[in-house]
């Protein structure tokens, strides 16, 4: 029994690793993007001169930037607050969505 549990746990961990390597889910990202569009636009084009365009940006770069704001590696009061509650999966999905625009 113990062995089965160990193998199952390993299998689940393995699946998790596959997920990390996979690209985000743009459809799920679109749902989450509701809070972003006030500043970055529904089309991913910034709504003011201070809000950067993120449409069509490389997915990996978007994910890296948002994680950097969340983790305090990159500092901006606005984006830090926006990124704080996001999980890695949320961020990957948002990156996939805005990259696809
Ligand atoms: C209140 C306005 C506001 C909201 C809401 C907002 N952002 Fe931002 N975002 C900014 C500003 C301003 C910057 C530029 C910050 C800087 O100078 O580093 C930025 C920067 C970024 C960058 C970096 C762009 C680059 O070229 O490096 C990404 C990616 C990003 N935001 C994604 C998001 C996502 C995804 C959301 C929704 C979860 C979001 N933002 C919500 C204002 C906002």
85-99 pLDDT, tens digit per residue, is: 999 999 999 999 999
Q: Name residues whose C-beta falls within 8 Å of residue 60's C-beta, 6 or more positions apart in sequence.
A: 95
Q: What is the pLDDT of residue 23?
A: 84
Q: What is the pLDDT of residue 18?
A: 45
Six token digits for residue 93: 């999905």
Q: What is the pLDDT of residue 20?
A: 46
Closest Cα to atom 33 of ligand 1: 36
Distance 51 CA to ligand 1 centre (A): 7
Distance 62 CA to ligand 1 centre (A): 10
Six token digits for residue 64: 């890296």
* Intervals of the chain under pLDDT 70: 1-22
Contact 34, 43 (CB under 8 A): no
Q: How far apart are CA 96 and CA 101, in angstroms?
A: 9
Q: What is the pLDDT of residue 73?
A: 97
Six token digits for residue 63: 């994910």
Contact 19, 87 (CB under 8 A): no
């Amino acid at each position: 029994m113990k062995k089965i549990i160990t193998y199952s746990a390993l299998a689940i961990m393995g699946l998790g690793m596959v997920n990390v390597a996979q690209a985000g889910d743009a459809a799920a990202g679109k749902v989450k993007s509701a809070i972003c569009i006030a500043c970055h636009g529904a089309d991913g084009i910034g709504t003011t001169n201070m809000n950067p365009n993120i449409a069509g940006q490389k997915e990996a770069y978007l994910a890296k930037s948002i994680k950097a704001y969340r983790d305090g590696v990159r500092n901006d009061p606005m984006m830090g607050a926006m990124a704080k509650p996001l999980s890695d999966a949320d961020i990957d999905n948002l990156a996939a969505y805005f990259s696809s625009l």
